[in-house]
Amino acid sequence: MLLHKKVGYYLLTVTLFVILACPWLSVVVAQIPSTPVITADDFSTDSGLWTYHGVASRGNGVITLLDNRTDTYSQLWFKRELGYPFRLEFDAWGEGWGEAAIMMFFKDKNYVPSGGENNGFQPSTGIAPGYGIEFDYYPYNGDPGSWGTHHVALIEDNTRNHVAYNMSSTSSFPTRVGWSHVMIVVNETHVTVDINGIHWLDVDHDFDLEYQGFGFCGGCNWNKMLFQIDNVIIT
């Protein structure tokens, strides 16, 4: 027993010496990415994991991001910061021509959101740093051209900055025909998006990791749109 105490004392002494002599070690430790949170939420009850803004609401076991009203926005923020890498799975469906629904990640949460084509992703003027996977239902004439149909895109800092995109060419896009299963895998340099097992995006990108905000948002302009999600799993 005495030997164990002496060994423990010596280990504690050495540890304190190393920390005091090498303060840079604490910086290295602080820069290690946080361990991803493992969460599963079917929204049958209020889990207390989310913050709601705009028209986002929980009811009948699902989250409604957009509720068929014009000139609206929604935000559903995860209350914890989300490290990397992470894998997100959820079910979704939507209809209408309102604007878009977005999964936000590595996102600054400190801004006043606005609706319409800003989709709750940014303020009415300027940007809010961060990234999103956009499920766009509105064929507008904007960057990078006339979409003409549904698309899935990786966006950065604002909704008009499409880093990469894929036009809707299959029935797997989340529409009124039924619930679609979405899987998004993210690390610090890569993101993939699959819908109902079909590969939509596979993008290499050097993500800015300054912010760790995670959640969902959406917006409607003068058109109406309904968009709901369920069964969110983060690993």
Closest CA to 230 of 37, 36, 76: 76
At 172 the pLDDT is 55
At 39 the pLDDT is 92
Closest CA to 90 of 46, 42, 129, 58: 42
Cis preceding linkage at 174, omega within 30: no
Sign of the dihedral defined by the CA atoms of residues 139, 112, 156, 130, in that order: negative
Q: Which CATH number fits domain 36-234: 2.40.160.60, 3.30.70.20, 3.20.20.60, 2.60.120.200?
A: 2.60.120.200
Task: Say whether pLDDT at 32 is over 80.
Answer: no
How distant is the alpha carbon of residue 94 from its chain centre? 18
Sign of the dihedral defined by the CA atoms of residues 162, 167, 170, 175, in that order: positive
Distance CA 198, CA 174 (A): 12
Distance CA 201, CA 19 (A): 44
Contact 61, 231 (CB under 8 A): no
Complete DSSP assignment for 136-177: E----EETTEE--S-EEEEEESEEEEEEEEEE--STTSS-TT
Task: Say whether pLDDT at 36 is over 90.
Answer: no
Give the pLDDT band (50/70/90) at residue 136: confident
Look at strands 141-142 and 151-156 and give their pairing: unpaired
Q: Is the pTM of this model over 0.85?
A: no
Give the pLDDT band (50/70/90) at residue 94: confident
Task: Say whether pLDDT at 29 is over 50.
Answer: no
Complete DSSP assignment for 97-121: SSEEEEEEEEE---S----GGGTTT
Distance CA 164, CA 159 (A): 12
CB atoms closer than 10 angstroms to residue 171: 12
Structure tokens at 174: 């989340």
Spatial neighbors of 120 by CB under 8 A, at least 6 apart, are: 53, 54, 73, 74, 75, 102, 113, 114, 217, 218, 219
Q: How far is it between the farthest Cα atoms of the chain?
A: 78
Mean pLDDT confidence for 216-235: 92
At 113 the pLDDT is 93
At 106 the pLDDT is 97
Mean pLDDT confidence for 46-63: 97
Task: Say whether pLDDT at 160 is over 80.
Answer: yes
Mean pLDDT confidence for 41-56: 97
At 42 the pLDDT is 97
Residues 178-219 pLDDT 10s: 799 999 999 999 999 999 998 999 999 999 999 999 999 999
At 1 the pLDDT is 41
